[in-house]
């Protein structure tokens, strides 16, 4: 059992079971690159401020670089005896360069160090998620344009409501994902703040230059309160909240793919590459990928609740409870990135059955609103028109026929304003083309929406690139 860096105040060594219980190295080891990156910036700042000599800083920076390469190559064992990634790196540094390595921790604490590491990690995660999301938007927009003239039933209460363009339906998800990207962009701004220099909780007595460290690590701002800096986990909770909403949107889309790929709907064919078979039924083609997208949404929700519950009763400032913040955040990051990557590979492989969709759109008296609007244009109050058409639907249902099967004389029994020109508006094409209101399902409006989203996606990608840190 190795002696801890903080062992001086203790008479007894740590119990072996306690070492296992308190160790975080098995999950925070993935922060090693960020930990070393932050340490190098901190070390150079200490030298520029005269707290370390330049010779000492050079030795430390060289040693940290060697440790980075050792971990990259899998040559440095990271186990529970090293407690956490910070102690593992510092211990190895002192093995390599001696006591001068112990000077690295001057003017900082593990409290502000881990806050820095997780912010650096989350910064990269959020940038990657934003890029993946904008690719999702691009692919959905391409699908919409490709299927611009496909008409499908629009649903409310999962019942046929009114005909819409499939492209319009797909562009609804584009709007959801653009909101998700916007939330992540706002979250990124609050992540992108330097906490290093706050030390344990009260700041430091050494004449450090936090602005210099911030520039070196690409942070545009530094924290204003050292107590908040070391205890704040809002940025992790906010990321998990934004991710929960993102996964909810993916889950809604996945649910529709599951429904639409059934024999009962048969609206879409999902590529074999994204389905699996049955161990007993040879004919099965199961939409496992969309199903897992729904399922993985649950774990992201759970991670959000875990973090909220973790932090809700913590007094200022740092408490060891906060060690438990990383696994939910890491799991959410991994789940969201993988789900988006798989979604982006699956989208181009979807094949929509336009004929089947259009045939379904004509069922269920989906053009009833067209009849009501027709009467309104003839001067009939909408509530009266609604009642008349309801009676007409009931009549047609009893006889098992559609509006277009009725004679003009038959229609006039329900209202004298119903005439032969009604049949000109009782087509699916007319129903969608005439919905020209802003955000409506007419082909013209959907084309405009596609064009606007293309421009916006390009602009947002430019912002992602601008947000990407320039490290000095």
Q: Kindly report, residue by residue over 286-310, the tens digit of the pLDDT.
A: 999 999 999 999 999 999 999 999 9
Owning domain of residue 185 = 111-198+223-360
Angle, alpha carbons 409-411-417 (nearest 5°): 100
In the numeric block, which tokens belong to residue 188? 């990124």
- pLDDT score, position 361: 96
Do residues 243 and 128 both lie within one domain?
A: yes
Residue 406: which CATH number?
A: 1.10.40.30
What is the rounded distance in angstroms from the CA atom of residue 437 to the CA atom of residue 252? Answer: 26
- Structural domain ending residue among the three candidates 47, 76, 106: 106
Do residues 240 and 348 both lie within one domain?
A: yes
- pLDDT score, position 10: 66
Q: At residue 65, does pLDDT exceed 70?
A: yes
Answer whether residue 448 is part of any domain. Answer: no
pLDDT digit string (tens) for 342-366? 999 999 999 999 999 999 999 999 9
Q: Give Cα separations from 247 to 53, 136, 304, 459 (angstroms).
A: 50, 13, 12, 24
Residue 163 forms beta bridges with which residues? 153
Do residues 265 and 327 both lie within one domain?
A: yes
Please compute the mean of the pLDDT values over residues 1-15 and round it to a whole number.
63
- Residue 342 burial (C-beta neighbours within 10 Å; 0-12, 13-18, 19+): middle
Please compute the mean of the pLDDT values over residues 213-240 and round it to a whole number.
98
The domain tally of the chain equals 3
Answer whether residue 388 is part of any domain. Answer: yes
Q: What pTM was estimated for this model as a whole?
A: 0.94
Do residues 334 and 231 both lie within one domain?
A: yes
Answer whether residue 211 is part of any domain. Answer: no
Please compute the mean of the pLDDT values over residues 439-462 and round it to a whole number.
98
What is the rounded distance in angstroms from the CA atom of residue 15 to the CA atom of residue 358? Answer: 70
Q: Give Cα separations from 453 to 30, 142, 169, 349, 445 (angstroms).
A: 36, 11, 15, 22, 12
Q: At residue 5, does pLDDT exceed 70?
A: no
Q: Which residue numbers are catalytic?
A: 157, 278
The enclosing H or E element of 160 equals strand 159-165
pLDDT digit string (tens) for 367-423? 999 999 999 999 999 999 999 999 999 999 999 999 999 999 999 999 999 999 999
Answer whether residue 375 is part of any domain. Answer: yes
- Residue 200 burial (C-beta neighbours within 10 Å; 0-12, 13-18, 19+): middle
More confident residue, 140 or 283: 140
Do residues 83 and 133 both lie within one domain?
A: no
Do residues 250 and 337 both lie within one domain?
A: yes
Do residues 332 and 383 both lie within one domain?
A: no
- pLDDT score, position 13: 75
Answer whether residue 458 is part of any domain. Answer: no
Answer whether residue 459 is part of any domain. Answer: no
- pLDDT score, position 446: 98
- Structural domain ending residue among the three candidates 335, 360, 385: 360
Give φ, ψ of 434 to 5 degrees. -85, -5
Answer whether residue 7 is part of any domain. Answer: no
pLDDT category at 1 given cuts 50, 70, 90 is: very low
- pLDDT score, position 7: 62
- DSSP letter for each residue of 123-154: HHHHHHHHHHHHHHHHHHHHHHHHTTT-EEEE
Number of residues that this document lists for the chain? 472
Report, in angstroms and rounded to the nearest whole number, the Rg of the chain calculated over CA atoms.
30
Contact 4, 83 (CB under 8 A): yes
* Residues 319-330: b if buried by 16+ CB within 10 A, e if exposed: eeebbebbbbbb
Q: Identify the sign of the CA torsion 197, 5, 233, 174.
A: positive
- pLDDT score, position 17: 80
- pLDDT score, position 414: 96
Contacts of 363 (CB under 8 A, 6+ apart): 153, 160
- pLDDT score, position 83: 84
Write down the mean pLDDT value for the chain: 95
Contacts of 328 (CB under 8 A, 6+ apart): 236, 240, 302, 303, 304, 306, 307, 310
Question: How many CB atoms within 10 Å of residue 135?
Answer: 18
pLDDT digit string (tens) for 153-164? 999 999 999 999
Do residues 61 and 169 both lie within one domain?
A: no
Q: At residue 178, does pLDDT exceed 60?
A: yes
Q: At residue 272, does pLDDT exceed 60?
A: yes
Q: At residue 2, does pLDDT exceed 80?
A: no
Contacts of 11 (CB under 8 A, 6+ apart): none
What is the rounded distance in angstroms from the CA atom of residue 259 to the CA atom of residue 226? Answer: 52
Residue 322: which CATH number?
A: 1.20.200.10
Do residues 296 and 163 both lie within one domain?
A: yes
Do residues 116 and 262 both lie within one domain?
A: yes
Helical H segments across 98-233, by residue range: 110-146, 166-191, 210-217, 226-231
Q: At residue 11, does pLDDT exceed 70?
A: no
Q: At residue 431, does pLDDT exceed 90?
A: yes
Give φ, ψ of 148 to 5 degrees. -60, -30
Residue 22: which CATH number?
A: 1.10.275.10
- pLDDT score, position 21: 82
Bond prior to 340 in cis (omega within 30° of 0): no
Do residues 250 and 150 both lie within one domain?
A: yes
Please compute the mean of the pLDDT values over residues 432-438 and round it to a whole number.
96
What is the rounded distance in angstroms from the CA atom of residue 259 to the CA atom of residue 429? Answer: 25
- Structural domain ending residue among the three candidates 65, 89, 106: 106
Do residues 127 and 242 both lie within one domain?
A: yes
Answer whether residue 69 is part of any domain. Answer: yes
Q: At residue 3, does pLDDT exceed 70?
A: no
Strand pairing category for 159-165 and 151-156: antiparallel
Q: Quote the percentage of the chain above a pLDDT of 90.
A: 91
Please compute the mean of the pLDDT values over residues 90-119 and round it to a whole number.
97
Contact 249, 339 (CB under 8 A): no
pLDDT digit string (tens) for 31-48? 999 999 999 999 999 999
Q: Is 352 helix (H, G, I), strand (E, B) or coil?
A: strand
């Amino acid at each position: 059992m190795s002696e801890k860096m903080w062992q001086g105040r203790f008479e007894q060594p740590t119990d072996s079971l306690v070492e296992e219980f308190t160790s975080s190295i098995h999950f925070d080891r993935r922060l090693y690159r960020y930990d070393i990156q932050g340490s190098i910036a901190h070390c150079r700042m200490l030298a520029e401020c005269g707290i370390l000599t330049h010779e000492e800083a050079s030795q430390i920076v060289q040693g940290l670089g060697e440790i980075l390469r050792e971990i990259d190559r899998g040559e440095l064992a990271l186990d529970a005896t090293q407690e956490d990634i910070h102690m593992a790196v510092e211990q190895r540094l002192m093995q390599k360069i001696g006591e001068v390595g112990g000077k690295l921790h001057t003017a900082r604490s593990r409290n502000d160090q881990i806050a820095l590491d997780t912010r650096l990690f989350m910064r990269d995660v959020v940038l990657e998620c934003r890029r993946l999301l904008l690719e999702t938007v691009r692919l959905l927009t391409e699908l919409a344009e490709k299927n611009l003239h496909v008409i499908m039933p629009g649903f409310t209460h999962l019942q046929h409501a009114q005909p819409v363009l499939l492209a319009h339906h797909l562009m609804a998800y584009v709007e959801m994902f653009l909101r998700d990207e916007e939330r992540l962009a706002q979250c990124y701004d609050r992540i992108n703040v330097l906490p290093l220099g706050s030390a344990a909780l009260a700041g430091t007595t050494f004449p450090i230059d936090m602005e210099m460290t911030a520039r070196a690590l690409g942070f545009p701002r530094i924290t204003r309160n050292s107590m908040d800096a070391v205890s704040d986990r809002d940025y992790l909770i906010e990321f998990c909240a934004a991710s929960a909403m993102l996964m909810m949107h993916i889950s809604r889309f996945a649910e529709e793919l599951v429904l639409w790929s059934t024999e009962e709907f048969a609206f879409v064919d999902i590529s074999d590459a994204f389905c699996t078979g049955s161990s007993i039924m040879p004919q099965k083609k199961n939409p496992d990928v969309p199903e897992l997208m729904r399922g993985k949404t649950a774990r992201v929700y759970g991670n959000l609740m875990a973090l909220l519950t973790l932090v809700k009763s913590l007094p200022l400032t740092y408490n060891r409870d906060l060690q438990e913040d990383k696994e939910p955040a890491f799991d959410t990051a991994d789940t969201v990135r993988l789900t988006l990557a798989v979604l982006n590979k699956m989208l181009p492989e979807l094949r929509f059955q336009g004929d089947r969709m259009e045939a379904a759109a004509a069922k269920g008296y989906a053009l009833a609103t067209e009849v009501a609007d027709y009467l309104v244009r003839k001067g009939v109050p909408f509530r009266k028109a609604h009642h008349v058409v309801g009676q007409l639907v009931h009549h047609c249902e009893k006889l098992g026929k559609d509006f277009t099967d009725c004679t003009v004389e038959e229609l006039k029994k329900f209202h004298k304003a119903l005439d032969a020109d009604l049949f000109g508006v009782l087509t699916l094409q007319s129903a969608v083309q005439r919905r020209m209101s802003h955000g409506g399902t007419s082909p013209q409006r959907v084309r405009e929406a596609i064009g606007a989203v293309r421009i916006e996606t390009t602009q947002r990608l430019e912002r992602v690139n601008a947000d990407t840190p320039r490290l000095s």
